[in-house]
Structure 1
Amino acid sequence: MSIPNIISIFRILLIPLFIYTFVTGTGDGRIIYPIIIFIISGISDVLDGYIARTYHMETKLGAVLDPLADKLMLITALICFAVYDYIPYWIVILVALKELFMIGGGIIAYQRGIVNRANAWGKMATFLFHISIVMFLVSKTLAFLLLIVSIVISFSALFTYVRLTLEKKKKMDGPA
């Protein structure tokens, strides 16, 4: 197994630790320790991507594990923040539905031979989601506003993926 894939698995294994520290934390500790874990996950995400690209260690397994680790950590964080009233549940539902649509669409596209790499909108949304979660340490209001911006940008990424997929499908189908 490649080093980037091991790092992705490590990121997935951080999720139960995130939940545990969130649920058992009190006062400021309720979010400080989970956010530190979230930051570690984010840094290791950058690290595994860097290693995979730099040392040509990109694998099909990594193409699944990396975004899966991202999505699971993000949804986990959002659920924890909603359960403890830091954010409303509609944010979790909206993001989860978007991610499920992306996963389902990605599987269907892949089955038809269409692969879309992460685009700038998707990377920006992921970065802003990470910043918004970390901002809960500073300001709940600012964190919430950044979270809304992240959601808007993530839907822009979704629409871009759909457009690219449809363009690739049209090219594959040839002239009508």
Structure 2
Amino acid sequence: MNLANKITLARIFLVPIIMFFLLVNFNYFPEIHMESFQINYNQIIAALIFIIAASTDGLDGYIARSRKMVTNLGKLLDPLADKLLVAAVLISLVEMGKCDAWIAIVIISREFAVTGLRQIALLEGAVVAASKWGKIKTVTQITAIILMLLNNFPFQFIGVRVDLIMMWIAALVTVYSGIDYFVKNKNVLHFSDKKQ
């Protein structure tokens, strides 16, 4: 197994660790209190691990391409790792009462739909390339999740819910990028339809 795939696997293994710090009740972990802001240390730890995991997303792809280490395993694992990371943290945020369930459902549903499209394309011998909107979607999702994990820090002090605004933006960009993928790759669906 090459270095790029090991980094991708490490991202997958970080998912349950993040969920552990978010969902297990740490009564002995103190909270940070500052004026109108409070946060548990376990949330800070989960946010830091999430940031590390999310930052490896581009790293494994860069290493795979620059060192000519692109493998079929990597092509399968990389998007799977991204989707597991985002879905697990979104579901955890819903459980914690920080994120509306409908937003998590919209984002996760889009990921399933685009994954299905990619699988159909793969069966037809085609490749669904990453789009500009797909990359913007990833950045908005990660930013929104980090802000929610950190209880809207540092914007809590000015009384603006930037975490909620970013999550709404992430949901809208997610939907738009999903539509964009299907519109640009509708030929894959038509070709698959005709073969049946």
TM-score, structure 1 normalization = 0.89
Runs of 4+ in 1 over 6 A off after TM superposition: 169-173
- Give yes or no for the alignment of 1:134 onto 2:138: no
Gaps of 5+ in 1: none
Contact 2:120 2:192 (8 Å CA) reproduced: no
Residue of 133, 138, 145 corresponding to 2:165: 145
Q: 1 CA distance for matches of 2:47 and 2:53?
A: 10
1:100 positional shift: 1.4
- Give yes or no for the alignment of 1:56 onto 2:56: no
Contact 2:7 2:56 (8 Å CA) reproduced: yes
Q: 1 CA distance for matches of 2:145 and 2:104?
A: 13
Q: 2 CA distance for matches of 1:163 and 1:84?
A: 36
The aligned residue for residue 104 of structure 1 is 116
1:126 positional shift: 0.5
- The Cα offsets for residues 75-106 of structure 1, whole Å up to 9 and x where unpaired, read as 00100100010011111111121111112222
- The Cα offsets for residues 123-166 of structure 1, whole Å up to 9 and x where unpaired, read as 11101111111122214721121111112112222122112212
Moved more, 90-99 or 11-20: 90-99
Larger RCO (CA under 8 A, 6+ residues apart): 2
Q: 2 CA distance for matches of 1:60 and 1:164?
A: 24
Moved more, 15-24 or 151-160: 151-160
1:29 positional shift: 2.0
Q: 2 CA distance for matches of 1:172 and 1:22?
A: 42
Residue of 78, 83, 88 corresponding to 1:66: 78
Percent same amino acid among aligned pairs?
30
TM-score, structure 2 normalization = 0.81
1:64 positional shift: 1.3
Contact 1:23 1:30 (8 Å CA) reproduced: no
Q: Which residues of 2 match residues 109-124 of structure 1 at below 5 A?
A: 109-124=121-136
1:30 positional shift: 3.8
Contact 1:116 1:164 (8 Å CA) reproduced: no
Gaps of 5+ in 2: 32-39
The aligned residue for residue 15 of structure 2 is 15
Paired residue type of 1:164: K
Paired residue type of 2:83: K
Judged with a 3 Å threshold, the aligned counterparts in structure 2 of structure 1 residues 172 and 15 are, in CA distance, closer, same or farther, namely closer
Residue of 151, 169, 175 corresponding to 1:155: 175
- CA RMSD in angstroms, aligned pairs only: 2.1
Q: 2 CA distance for matches of 1:168 and 1:32?
A: 43
Q: 1 CA distance for matches of 2:108 and 2:54?
A: 19
Give the number of the structure whose residues are more often strand, by fraction: 2
Q: 1 CA distance for matches of 2:184 and 2:103?
A: 26
Paired residue type of 1:2: N
1:170 positional shift: 6.7
Q: 2 CA distance for matches of 1:150 and 1:125?
A: 6
Q: Higher Cα Rg: structure 1 or 2? A: 2
SS in structure 2 opposite 1:86? coil
Judged with a 3 Å threshold, the aligned counterparts in structure 2 of structure 1 residues 124 and 144 are, in CA distance, closer, same or farther, namely same
1:167 positional shift: 4.1
